[in-house]
Amino acid sequence: DGRARVLADGKEIPLLGLGVWQVPDGRACEDAVRWALDAGYRHIDTAQAYRNERSVGRALRDSGVPRDEVFLTTKFFPGREDPEREAQRSLERLGVDYVDLYIIHWPQGGPTWAWDGMQRAHERGYARSIGVSNFDVAELGAVFGVAEVPPVVNQVQFSPFEFRRGLLAECERRNVALEAYSPLGTGRHLGDRQVAEIAERLGRTPAQVLIRWALQRGLVVLPKSTHRERIESNAQVFDFALTDEDMAALDGLDRTGGTDRAQEHAWW
Ligand code: A2P
């Protein structure tokens, strides 16, 4: 129904997920995740580095939503040695016996050294699917060069303003689903005049317009919020469509030059 897609390994992923980057462990994170599940989200994206896996797990249990109805992602922190071992630790913190998706958070130390451990985590059943994050075209290619089980996801910063067409085209060619984090530019893009104009004309919020753009570009999209009404309205994106004209206008906001890089600066 346009709310999920099938990954290259046959697993299904909901196109809209709640991101919980920079949401502190504790009440704020528990509330955000529970509100999202109440609002119909079935996809939560956390990470070892976010230090809020315990709250995510608690909210998931408290929600009463069956574990197998929620797509749960966490990420390997590449400062650590062994992805298989770290996956076990994440599962303990989350209080679940598998995650749906386990990805290398960024390509620190090179793109390939951790992949064997990722594959072991997958083989052990700790992760149903495995992938990467913040990998550019060359880094993604390097992983494919060594993989027995190839990555099915690359999660990168993506929005009309960070419209990395080269990277998107490569992901499509390799059947790697591109997941957009910071689809609202961590909030910075919500005040853009053109985004606001489109939103006003359609009777939508700027956030809904940016999330809808990502969906129509074929992405999985992970907006973050800790406010209940925003979490709810950010999910109201399956009952309208942007025209080709509006999509093209939003495409034109790109400031990356359509690069195949994963981000502007290597920050690790
Ligand atoms: P908050 O968490 O206080 O609600 P991104 O997903 O690009 O990282 O953007 C997240 C930022 O955008 C957060 O600061 C969040 O604030 C804000 N945000 C998320 N959804 C909305 C919304 N619908 N309206 C206004 N701000 C929003």
CATH number of 4-251, picked from 3.20.20.100, 3.40.50.1390, 1.10.730.10, 1.10.10.920: 3.20.20.100
Average pLDDT over all residues of the chain: 96
Q: Which residues are designated catalytic? A: 50
- Using one digit for the tens of pLDDT, what is the confidence trace for 134-143? 999 999 999 9
Taking 80 as the threshold, does the pLDDT of residue 165 lie above it?
Answer: yes
Going from the Cα of 208 to the center of ligand 1, the distance in angstroms, rounded, reads: 11
Residues annotated in a binding site for substrate: 105
| Mutate-to-test residue for ligand 1 from 158, 184, 189, 234, highest number of ligand atoms within 8 A of CB | 184
CA distance 73 to 181: 13
Give yes or no for a contact between 181 and 159, defined as CB atoms under 8 angstroms apart.
no
Could you state, in order of their start, the residue ranges of all structural domains in the chain?
Answer: 4-251
The closest-lying atom of ligand 1 relative to the alpha carbon of residue 222 is: 6
- Using one digit for the tens of pLDDT, what is the confidence trace for 171-205? 999 999 999 999 999 999 999 999 999 999 999 99
Beta-bridged to residue 178, according to DSSP, are 154
pLDDT of residue 264: 64
Pocket of ligand 1 (CB under 6 A): 19, 182-187, 190, 205, 207, 223-227, 230, 233-234
Confidence label for 1 from pLDDT (cuts 50, 70 and 90): confident
Q: Is 132 helix (H, G, I), strand (E, B) or coil?
A: strand
**DSSP secondary-structure letter at 162?**
B
Calculate the CA 222 to chain-centre distance.
Answer: 5
CA distance 209 to 190: 9
Neighbour count for residue 85 (Cβ, 10 Å): 14
Residue given tokens 């679940």 in the structure block: 96
How many residues does the structure list for the chain?
A: 268
Q: Is 95 exposed, middle or buried (0-12, 13-18, 19+ CB in 10 A)?
A: middle
| Mutate-to-test residue for ligand 1 from 16, 188, 210, 225, highest number of ligand atoms within 8 A of CB | 225
Beta-bridged to residue 205, according to DSSP, are none
CA distance 14 to 4: 4
pLDDT of residue 268: 47
Quick one: which of 34, 23, 1, 14 has its CA closest to 231?
34
Supply the residue whose CA is at minimum distance from atom 26 of ligand 1.
Answer: 187
The closest-lying atom of ligand 1 relative to the alpha carbon of residue 225 is: 2
Confidence label for 259 from pLDDT (cuts 50, 70 and 90): confident
- Using one digit for the tens of pLDDT, what is the confidence trace for 28-68? 999 999 999 999 999 999 999 999 999 999 999 999 999 99
The bridge status of strand 127-133 relative to strand 99-104 is parallel
Quick one: which of 56, 10, 6 has its CA closest to 35?
56
Taking 60 as the threshold, does the pLDDT of residue 238 lie above it?
Answer: yes
